[in-house]
């Protein structure tokens, strides 16, 4: 059976080798630049159970991206990209690399590549998770739902959760990754307290614990080391990584002020430039005003697109990058011009 990724691979190869992709790149205004959005960078061929397809690139793919970008773009820091004056770069578009969440593998896999190529990047940190053993609820849920045989055995035993929402999650059809994606989509916009209660019910039903098996995020020592390199800058991804549109105004204000204060306390940002990134990309007009009033310099969304100098700097577009649709040169540049 031919998959959608295989079809995209064939089409992208044709578009790239006939020059169509390069032509589309050349049509972008000189005033447009690109901000790439990565999450995790994993060792080649090793894929943890339950990780979402849109959450990672392999390390060899990432290094390929850097080599390709250096041929066509001026790779700059996020702060440099947003300067109004023109940067030297031979007339090239500028490109800034950003990484959401502060995963441990950024230090292990991405940072060595950035040092080797002397390329800057910005990492957005959910400050309550840095230097801890905590995991995001999405990953804890994935860990619970990965083993379909455990779920079937529990259901067949006649156990009852007394919660229709939990029953719905446990009975999602399909392979594990599809079930996990469906469950995350169902829960994503609910309050954190409700999500945690659902995870506890699923854990109890399956008689499996919710403890994190290993550290998932950076430590503050790693953050400081990378900051001292001059290549990696940091920004806020809130404190708790909760979706801001699900919170009350006071809760939002706390997320903004406390995360910024922690970054300043750890001396990994400069007071005159502290960027922000909306968890899950969710925001509204009130939230953008609050981010600006909290003293942030800019805010990044997950909306697809290139960044123009006249764009609102508190709703900047990015191009999300993940392995399945950027693993080849042709796929990567088709993604860059928005063909998929």
CATH number for 278? 3.20.20.370
In this prediction, residue 212 has a pLDDT band, given cuts at 50, 70 and 90, of low
Same-domain check for residues 77 and 222: yes
Domain count for the chain, please give it.
Answer: 2
Which of these three, 206, 228, 262, is where a domain ends?
206
Same-domain check for residues 231 and 317: yes
In this prediction, residue 54 has a pLDDT band, given cuts at 50, 70 and 90, of confident
Same-domain check for residues 155 and 171: yes
In this prediction, residue 86 has a pLDDT band, given cuts at 50, 70 and 90, of very low
Average pLDDT of 135-139?
Answer: 94
pLDDT score, position 85:
44
pLDDT score, position 319:
98
Same-domain check for residues 88 and 46: yes
In this prediction, residue 119 has a pLDDT band, given cuts at 50, 70 and 90, of very high
Note whether 40 and 105 are within 8 A (CB): yes
pLDDT score, position 281:
97
Average pLDDT of 246-251?
Answer: 97
pLDDT score, position 2:
57
pLDDT score, position 296:
98
pLDDT score, position 153:
80
Q: Is residue 112 part of a domain?
A: yes
Output b/e per residue, 251-277; b: 16+ Cβ within 10 A: ebeebbebbbebbeebebbeeeebbbb
Percent of the chain at pLDDT > 70 equals 96
Same-domain check for residues 238 and 308: yes
Q: Is residue 161 part of a domain?
A: yes
Give the CA radius of gyration of the chain.
21
Q: Looking at the predicted structure, is the pLDDT value of residue 51 above 90?
A: no
**Closest Cα to residue 19, out of 340, 237, 337, 279?**
337
Which of these three, 206, 225, 249, is where a domain ends?
206
Angle at 296 between CA 295 and CA 297, to 5 degrees: 120
Give residue 303's domain range: 33-133+216-325
Q: Looking at the predicted structure, is the pLDDT value of residue 261 above 60?
A: yes
In this prediction, residue 278 has a pLDDT band, given cuts at 50, 70 and 90, of very high
Task: Tell me phi and psi for residue 88, to 5 degrees.
Answer: -65, 135
- Give per-residue pLDDT as tens, 88-110: 445 789 999 999 999 999 999 99
Same-domain check for residues 186 and 319: no
Same-domain check for residues 189 and 276: no
Q: Is residue 159 part of a domain?
A: yes
Say which range, 78-92, 106-120, 137-151, 304-318, has the weakest mean pLDDT. Answer: 78-92
Same-domain check for residues 222 and 320: yes
Say which range, 10-14, 126-130, 158-162, 266-270, has the weakest mean pLDDT. Answer: 158-162
Q: Is residue 247 part of a domain?
A: yes
Question: In angstroms, rounded to a whole number, what is the distance separating the alpha carbons of residues 165 and 84?
Answer: 50
Same-domain check for residues 192 and 46: no
Note whether 308 and 29 are within 8 A (CB): yes
Q: Is residue 16 part of a domain?
A: no
Which of these three, 170, 187, 206, is where a domain ends?
206
Instruction: Supply the mean pLDDT for the chain.
Output: 92
Q: Is residue 178 part of a domain?
A: yes
Same-domain check for residues 129 and 151: no
More confident of the two residues 190 and 88 = 190
CA dihedral over 215, 192, 313, 268, signed as positive or negative: negative
Q: Is residue 259 part of a domain?
A: yes
Average pLDDT of 114-123?
Answer: 98
pLDDT score, position 156:
76
Strands (E), the chain: 32-38, 40-42, 56-58, 73-75, 93-100, 121-125, 232-236, 275-277, 298-304, 307-308, 316-320
Q: How many residues does the chain have?
A: 340
Q: Is residue 20 part of a domain?
A: no
Average pLDDT of 292-319?
Answer: 96
In this prediction, residue 246 has a pLDDT band, given cuts at 50, 70 and 90, of very high
Say which range, 39-43, 186-190, 205-209, has the weakest mean pLDDT. Answer: 205-209
Same-domain check for residues 47 and 149: no
Average pLDDT of 277-302?
Answer: 98
pLDDT score, position 152:
80
Same-domain check for residues 225 and 314: yes
């Amino acid at each position: 059976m031919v998959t959608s990724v295989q079809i995209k691979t064939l089409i992208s190869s044709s578009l790239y080798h006939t020059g169509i992709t390069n032509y589309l790149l050349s049509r972008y205004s000189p005033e447009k630049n690109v901000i790439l959005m990565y999450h995790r960078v994993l060792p080649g061929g090793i894929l943890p159970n339950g990780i979402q397809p849109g959450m990672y690139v392999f390390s060899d793919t990432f290094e390929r991206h850097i080599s390709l970008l250096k041929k066509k773009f001026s790779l700059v820091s996020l702060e440099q990209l947003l300067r109004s004056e023109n940067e030297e770069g031979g007339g090239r578009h500028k490109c800034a690399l950003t990484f959401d969440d502060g995963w441990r593998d950024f230090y292990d896999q991405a940072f060595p590549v950035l040092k080797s190529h002397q390329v800057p990047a910005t990492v957005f940190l959910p400050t309550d998770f840095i230097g801890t053993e905590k995991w995001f609820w999405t990953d804890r849920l994935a860990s619970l739902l990965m083993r379909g045989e455990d779920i079937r055995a529990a259901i067949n035993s006649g156990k009852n959760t007394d919660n229709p929402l939990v029953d719905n999650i446990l009975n999602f059809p399909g392979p594990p990754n599809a079930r996990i994606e469906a469950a995350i989509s169902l829960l994503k916009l609910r309050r954190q307290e409700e999500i945690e209660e659902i995870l506890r019910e699923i854990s109890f039903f399956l008689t499996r614990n919710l403890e994190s098996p290993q550290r998932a995020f950076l430590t503050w020592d790693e953050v400081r080391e990378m900051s001292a390199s001059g290549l990696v800058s940091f920004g806020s991804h809130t404190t708790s990584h909760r979706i801001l549109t699900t919170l009350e105004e006071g809760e939002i204000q706390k997320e903004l002020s406390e995360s910024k204060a922690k970054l300043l306390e750890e001396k990994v940002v400069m007071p005159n430039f502290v960027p922000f990134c909306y968890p899950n990309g969710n925001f509204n007009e009130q939230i953008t005003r609050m981010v600006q009033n909290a003293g942030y310099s800019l805010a990044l969304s997950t909306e697809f697109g290139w960044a123009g100098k006249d764009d609102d700097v508190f709703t900047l577009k990015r191009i999300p990058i993940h392995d399945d649709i950027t693993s080849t040169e042709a796929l990567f540049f088709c993604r860059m011009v928005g063909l998929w």
